[in-house]
DNA sequence: GCTATTTGACCTAC
DNA sequence: GTAGGTCAAATAGC
């Protein structure tokens, strides 16, 4: 968490803040609405150039925060589709493990140790827990009651698991205290055709790991002004399907407690199909993000602890304006 | 008939 | 031994 990566984080945050500053200047020039002043075009070009430089530096900094040299910002690095290979190689999540036992069909039944990252998704009403689509095709293969959890956990795998060998999977579980909030844990990268198609359109896909490192999680905790947790940062996630087994409609009253404020629907974080919804992504130390009095958004990533990779690493950007990400194309 | 979902059973990790 | 994750047969929907 703390330690050597903090300097990189600070530098990255500063760099991105600079980008934000430049973007705002650019917006001021472009959005003035008045007659374009002579030379404004050149100034804009200069600003764009500055932005590019800052972004490049940010990418470099982000890369320096990698685990085992893997970039934290896949988009900036071209969004490689290849998942981590340490213990979660694409399409062969268990193949090399000598301890792996296989079932009758030759599939290893060892519990997955694929890279994973989780998010939280908020829906605007309990009715919205209908087909939730994050852009990938998922097939539900199981549901399990979890000890101590009020709601069951649903298990999904990529529809193209068999046809294209895509081993991406995800778990969806309604948050106990908030029936409108779902924890979504992704395992493995998509290696199917969908991955390529979607990565080109948006690299902020939640079903592709923001970090390309194994055992990493990313958190996006959006906060409102005044430090009060105030979900307002929508992420790219359409409503996903989740069996309302334990999510009775009697939970609907919680909808009234929703205090979200979705920003522009033009944001890449908002699916066109769900502009009425607002999703909150946080995980792992999301509460830490909430403890900080940040104006807009905070990214937080840490390695999960489900592997032998013991040391934690966090990656944080703050403060950042969501609009920056809207336009940057990096997230 | 094909595909997706449900659900109990089985298996593995802890 | 227990809890979590996956399998696969049964079932439902198109």
DSSP string for A176-218? TTEEEEEEEEEES---SHHHHHHHHH-S--TTS-SS-STTEEE
Residue A143 (CA) to nucleotide B7 (C1'), in angstroms, measures 8
> Is residue A61 a part of any domain in this protein?
no
Which bases of chain B are contacted by protein, using any atom under 7 A from a CB?
Answer: 4-9, 11-14
Give phi and psi for A239, each to the nearest 5.
Answer: -55, 135
As for how many domains chain A has, the answer is: 1
Q: The domain containing residue A273 runs over which residues? A: 113-328
Of A286, A305, A284, which is closest to residue A214 (Cα–Cα)? A305
Find the residue closest to B11 using CA and C1' atoms: A109
Measured in whole angstroms, the distance separating CA A145 from the mean position of its chain's CA atoms is 25
Find the residue closest to C2 using CA and C1' atoms: A147
Footprint of strand B on the protein (CB under 7 A): A 99-101, 103, 109-111, 137-144, 154, 159, 241, 243, 245, 306
Q: What is the pLDDT of residues A122-174, one digit of tens each?
A: 766 655 544 456 777 888 999 998 888 888 899 998 888 777 778 788 888 88
* C-alpha–C-alpha distance, residues A192 and A75, integer Å: 18
pLDDT, position A27: 60
> Is residue A187 a part of any domain in this protein?
yes
Residue A22: pLDDT band (50, 70, 90) is low
Residue A35 (CA) to nucleotide C8 (C1'), in angstroms, measures 68
- In the numeric block, which tokens belong to residue A5? 């990566």
pLDDT, position A195: 61
Residue A177: pLDDT band (50, 70, 90) is confident
> Is residue A221 a part of any domain in this protein?
yes
> Is residue A172 a part of any domain in this protein?
yes
* C-alpha–C-alpha distance, residues A239 and A172, integer Å: 11
Beta bridge partners of A187: A116, A169
- In the numeric block, which tokens belong to residue A1? 């968490």
pLDDT, position A88: 35
Find the residue closest to B13 using CA and C1' atoms: A111
Radius of gyration of chain A (CA): 20
Give phi and psi for A271, each to the nearest 5.
Answer: -70, 140
> Is residue A41 a part of any domain in this protein?
no
Measured in whole angstroms, the distance separating CA A57 from the mean position of its chain's CA atoms is 22
> Is residue A37 a part of any domain in this protein?
no
Mean pLDDT of the A85-105 span: 37
Residue A72: pLDDT band (50, 70, 90) is very low
> Is residue A256 a part of any domain in this protein?
yes
> Is residue A262 a part of any domain in this protein?
yes
């Amino acid at each position: 968490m703390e330690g050597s990566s903090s300097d990189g984080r600070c530098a990255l945050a500063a760099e991105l803040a600079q980008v934000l500053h430049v973007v705002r200047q650019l917006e001021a020039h472009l959005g003035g609405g008045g007659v374009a002043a002579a030379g404004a075009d050149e100034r804009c070009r200069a600003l764009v150039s500055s932005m590019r430089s800052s972004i490049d530096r940010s990418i470099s900094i982000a890369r320096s925060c990698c685990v085992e040299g893997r970039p934290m910002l896949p988009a900036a690095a071209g969004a490689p589709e290849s998942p981590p290979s340490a213990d979660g190689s694409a399409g062969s999540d268990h193949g090399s493990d000598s301890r792996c036992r296989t079932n009758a069909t030759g599939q290893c039944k060892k519990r997955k140790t694929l890279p994973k990252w989780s998010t939280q998704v908020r829906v605007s009403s309990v009715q919205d827990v209908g087909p939730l689509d994050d852009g990938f095709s998922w097939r539900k293969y199981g549901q399990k009651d979890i000890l101590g959890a009020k709601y069951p956990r649903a298990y999904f795998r990529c529809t193209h698991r068999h046809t294209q060998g895509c081993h991406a999977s995800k778990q969806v579980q309604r948050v106990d205290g908030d029936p409108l909030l779902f924890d979504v844990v992704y395992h493995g990268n998509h290696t199917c055709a969908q991955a390529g198609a979607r990565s080109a359109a948006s690299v902020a896909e939640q079903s592709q790991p923001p970090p390309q490192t194994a055992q990493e999680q990313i958190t996006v905790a959006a906060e409102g002004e005044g430090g009060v947790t105030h979900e307002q940062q929508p992420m790219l996630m359409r409503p996903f399907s989740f069996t309302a087994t334990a999510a009775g409609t009697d939970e609907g009253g919680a909808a009234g407690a929703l205090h979200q404020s979705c920003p522009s629907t033009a944001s890449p974080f908002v699916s066109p199909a769900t502009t009425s919804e607002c999703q909150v992504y946080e995980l792992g130390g999301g509460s830490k993000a909430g403890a900080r009095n940040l104006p807009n958004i905070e990214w937080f990533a840490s390695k999960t602890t489900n592997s032998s990779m013991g040391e934690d690493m966090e990656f944080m950007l703050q403060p950042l304006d969501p609009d920056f990400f809207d336009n940057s194309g990096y997230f």
